[in-house]
Amino acid sequence: MKTIIITGSTSGIGLGIAENFASAGYNVVLNGLGKPDEIEATRARVADLGAGEVIFHGANMLKPDEITDLVKTTRDKFGSVDVIIPNAGIQHVEKIEDFPLEKWDAIIAINLSSAFHLIRAAMPIMKQQEFGRIIAIASAHGLVASPFKSSYVAAKHGIVGLMKTVALEGAEFGVTANAICPGYVETPLVSGQIADTAKARGMSEEDVISDVILKAQPTKQFVTVEQIASLALFLASDQAAQITGAALPMDGGWTAQ
């Protein structure tokens, strides 16, 4: 039975990936923020989806030692670390000259550096196993830019470059590394932004979705969490063994323009 670690997996995209892998029979290590009772309820619900065991580790993505312990705990508990999905991320929008320095540092640390620390801890295990799947959740902003998102775009471009380097280092050891680059995904956070934008601009929510949120996506449809989770599960499979070093857009045509 294979084991997966997913950072930022108590909600949103990370939780959807956890549910998909649990349903496929993986042991799952959850990580993220939330109240203890809510996290436990989530853990129990995910555990009910499949035959594997589901545990939670509260590693802070700002603390490299805790990220290292996340990997060590997983190895000690399950005997292997087969798949890691660096997914944890935060966002802040502001023009460069007014961008708060602490926000820049936090976004680079959580969105980029935490992925490095996770991979650094897991790579020796994966090389020894001669098997590993590293699947980073990047963004369309890992391939193209938008104004006012300097730190987020820099971090996500960094993730794409990091995956290329890791792919080359892992190629002879059965370890692949890829980045999934979603466009806008309909999560509770985005749904709240839609309602707030509609109110602020005096627009209908339908117009906000089409003309503001999804303006860059030719399909005018959100990417779903389930679609991202399905791609991640495929990239973890034996069928994807020759896909490595790739940045895979799932963005409704955004980056094709």
* Alpha carbon 219 to chain centroid, angstroms: 23
User: What's the pLDDT at 197?
Assistant: 84
- Mean pLDDT on 221-247: 98
The model's pTM is 0.96
User: What's the pLDDT at 177?
Assistant: 99
- Mean pLDDT on 114-131: 98
- What is the rounded distance in angstroms from the CA atom of residue 72 to the CA atom of residue 138? 25
Residues 139 and 182: beta-carbon distance below 8 Å: yes
**pLDDT for 65-105, tens place per residue?**
999 999 999 999 999 999 999 999 999 889 999 999 999 99
Distances (CA, A) of 40 to 46, 88, 120: 10, 19, 28
Tell me the domain boundaries of the chain: 3-183+224-256, 186-222
**pLDDT for 182-202, tens place per residue?**
999 988 778 877 888 888 889
Which are the catalytic amino acids? 152
- Mean pLDDT on 209-216: 91
Q: Domain 3-183+224-256, CATH 3.40.140.10 — does that match?
A: no
Residues 109 and 59: beta-carbon distance below 8 Å: no
Contacts of 227 (CB under 8 A, 6+ apart): 250
